[in-house]
Structure 1
Amino acid sequence: MIKLLTIIGARPQIIKAAALSRAVKSDFKDRVKEKILHTGQHYDAAMSQVFFDELGIPQPDYNLGIGSGRHGEQTAKMISGIEEVILSEPFDGVVIYGDTNSTLAGAVAAVKQHIPVFHIEAGLRSFNMAMPEEINRIACDQISSILFAPTRTAMDNLRNEGFLDIETRFKNGKKRQVFNSGDIMYDNSIYFAKFSGRTKILERHSLQPNGYILATVHRDNNTDEPSRLESIFKALLHISNENNIAILLPIHPRTAKLMPGNLSAGLYEKIAHSKLKLVEPVSFLEMIELEKHAKLVMTDSGGVQKESFFFEKPCLILRPETEWVEIVTHGAGILADADFDKIVEGYKTLSEIDVTFPRLFGNGKAAHFILERIMAYSAE
């Protein structure tokens, strides 16, 4: 029996953790004991607690309650809190997800105590060092014992950076291992899609299947820069008016807070009387239902980009680059950034072309693959 500490702190990590916890419970309960630590990075109930309740994730064994703050301040508090936990009881490994400050803190705290770090979603690269997430993911890859890459492109990134060749060794002489595990979010999307229809969210917002656009905007470079936020919402309003189509936008607390000050008064007033439906944050099952039935998805979220692909929906990406380059190179997504003309033209293009959606993200059994590899590593 091995004991793992899973580190979560942000909404996407809570969702990803559901797949691993489900696999532990169904097929590894006699071999793996999992404890969950929530850093409290996302502490809003609508952005955090609801996902534990809805997805059946075990309640955290530890909750640090860190909350928001400057990057350095927040990460330092997390490292200290996580270190206290891993010194309080023995763990055979720490599982981290993605690229948040919680991810970085978990990796640093564990590796300093010579506890193996298992990085799920390794190898992703935007090649934009202005993104805090890019710094976090690169640092975590460097200090992790096993890198679980979700796609072939992520594996190529790790290969190009020498991860498959460098003889890095950790405690007891164990070498770093690198695998293409498939995407753990694909596991979840397949599993939870069968339950999403129970939410009745389409009826609640008077939406018809394939008769609306789903949009999300939350990244700080979009929300915090008035010119970018103005351009995005101006384009959404134009597309909605010109095509007589509703746009549903579950509004992130950060975006809701900044919109009144960062949008011009005229545009803000027009939005209030348009077919843009700004609603409270939705649950994961509700989001799946919205993605399944949207005509098209517009987002600056990496996770939503993938989910749109899982449910075979074209995606307009409101960023200048993406870690999920497969979506763009395959033609299922277009990088529009926060450029009004690119957003409008991108919508027109994606509305007119036929897109196929091959299996680029694995076979839906990433969690089982990951646990098997962790078990093998621990037995060495």
Structure 2
Amino acid sequence: MIKVCSVVGARPNFMKMTPIVHELARRGVEQFLVHTGQHYDARMSDVFFDELNLPKPDVFLGVGSDSHAKQTAAIMVAFEATCLEFRPDLVIVSGDVNSTLAAAIVAAKLMIPLAHVEAGLRSFDRAMPEEVNRVLTDRVSDLLFASEESGVTHLRNEGVPEARIHLVGNCMVDSLFKHVDVAVSRSPWNEFGLEPGSYALVTLHRPSNVDEIEALRTLMATINRVAEHLPVLFPVHPRTRARLAQEAIATTPGVRLTDPLPYLTFLGLMAKAKCVLTDSGGIQEETTALGVPCLTLRENTERPATITCGTNRLVGNDPAQIEAGVAEIRAGHWPTGSRPPFWDGHAAVRVVDVLDAWGAERGTPLT
């Protein structure tokens, strides 16, 4: 039998890995869960284990925040010791955070087969740390699970053998479909004095928007103007809040700043938002799955299906494009979009089916 190690570390990992962990458990697969501690704040980590019913980690590495190099190195040192102790037959990583790359390198150097969930996504922007993480993780992975057709195309173009590439759909959407009804039933907008379908939801965390102060000033001034026509709820990433305070960037009364929100609260708010303004890759996917208009505050996206199929549009940090997009949404002229292939809530089943077949071919079945 195969012993599977699943690795999580940051907020997006939890939603992507939970359906796989549950499906492995349903089939009786021996597994253990490692949390690197890249996100360790209760609002960014603990609440997701509770709300997603993700089992408490068997191993918590507790690396915390640091520079990219120091954080990645700390995870590698700690995860190597974990692998030597537990001896997994397969390591599964997801997404593109530092925990993903660190665990991937360790697995590759220890000659442990590696599966990458959400493989093949490319923004072609090496200024994004996530792009470097994605590319390098894919290069050392044995099984590459693509969430959309573009991922398959990129992997083929990069010379990945066809037998390693599997289009399975989006595991984050699995989590969304499982929890959205409960999230909406809680009416989280009431907590903020809002009405469903009558507010904008904003998130910002990427360095190009947050650490570039002029870009942040421009975006916040634009969001203030949007709030003249549509109430804005802005759950603020800790780094973003620090920049706003440091630069004394003010918001108008129409912009409500909050701490990061629990998964179900945010999901319920997103499902009933008039529109979402974000620089998050995952939120581009979630809004597409929900059919909610999304303005992405970036010049590129590694998730083109959210544009070609879904409800997403790239607007960068251009005030004119942002305000025009919001006006178009308010007027009811936004495309309704559709879900990309296999974004049906069953991606994790397909992932584990592939793992089962892979294990059988090696003479080491999952169960």
Q: Which residue of 275, 281, 304 corresponds with 1:296?
A: 275
Is the 2:284–2:296 contact (alpha carbons within 8 Å) kept by the matching residues of 1?
Answer: yes
TM-superposed deviation, 1:331: 6.6
User: Which of structure 1's runs of 4+ aligned residues deviate more than 4 A?
Assistant: none
Partner of 1:169: none
- 1:150-199 Cα distance to aligned partner (Å, 9 max, x none): 0011111112222246xxxxxxxxxx611001000111111111211343
Map 1:56-95 → 2, pairs under 5 A: 56-95=53-92
- Is 1:276 paired with 2:255? yes
Inter-partner Cα distance in structure 1 for 2:42 and 2:48 = 9
Inter-partner Cα distance in structure 1 for 2:74 and 2:127 = 23
Partner of 1:366: 347
Is the 2:310–2:340 contact (alpha carbons within 8 Å) kept by the matching residues of 1?
Answer: no
Of structures 1 and 2, the one scoring higher in RCO (CA 8 A, sep 6+) is 2
Is the 2:287–2:311 contact (alpha carbons within 8 Å) kept by the matching residues of 1?
Answer: no
AA in 2 matched with 1:197: V
Unaligned 5+ residue runs, structure 2? 362-367
Partner of 2:113: 116
TM-score norm. by structure 1 comes to: 0.91
Inter-partner Cα distance in structure 2 for 1:259 and 1:288 = 25
Partner of 2:193: 206
User: Which moves more between the two structures, 306-315 or 332-341?
Assistant: 332-341
Q: Which residue of 224, 230, 250 corresponds with 2:211?
A: 224
Inter-partner Cα distance in structure 1 for 2:346 and 2:96 = 22
Inter-partner Cα distance in structure 1 for 2:71 and 2:112 = 22
- 1:241-262 Cα distance to aligned partner (Å, 9 max, x none): 1x2x211111111111111223
SS in 2 for 1:232: helix
AA in 2 matched with 1:113: L
SS in 1 for 2:257: strand
TM-score norm. by structure 2 comes to: 0.94
* Percent of aligned positions that are identical: 37
Q: Which residue of 336, 357, 364 corresponds with 1:376?
A: 357
Q: Which residue of 260, 272, 275 corresponds with 2:245?
A: 260
AA in 2 matched with 1:7: V
Inter-partner Cα distance in structure 1 for 2:171 and 2:90 = 18
TM-superposed deviation, 1:96: 0.2
RMSD: 1.5
- Is 1:5 paired with 2:5? yes
Unaligned 5+ residue runs, structure 1? 166-175
- 1:1-51 Cα distance to aligned partner (Å, 9 max, x none): 32111111101101222111222233x12xx12211111111111110111
SS in 1 for 2:119: coil
- Is 1:248 paired with 2:233? yes
Inter-partner Cα distance in structure 1 for 2:179 and 2:310 = 26
AA in 2 matched with 1:140: T
Is the 1:122–1:147 contact (alpha carbons within 8 Å) kept by the matching residues of 2?
Answer: yes
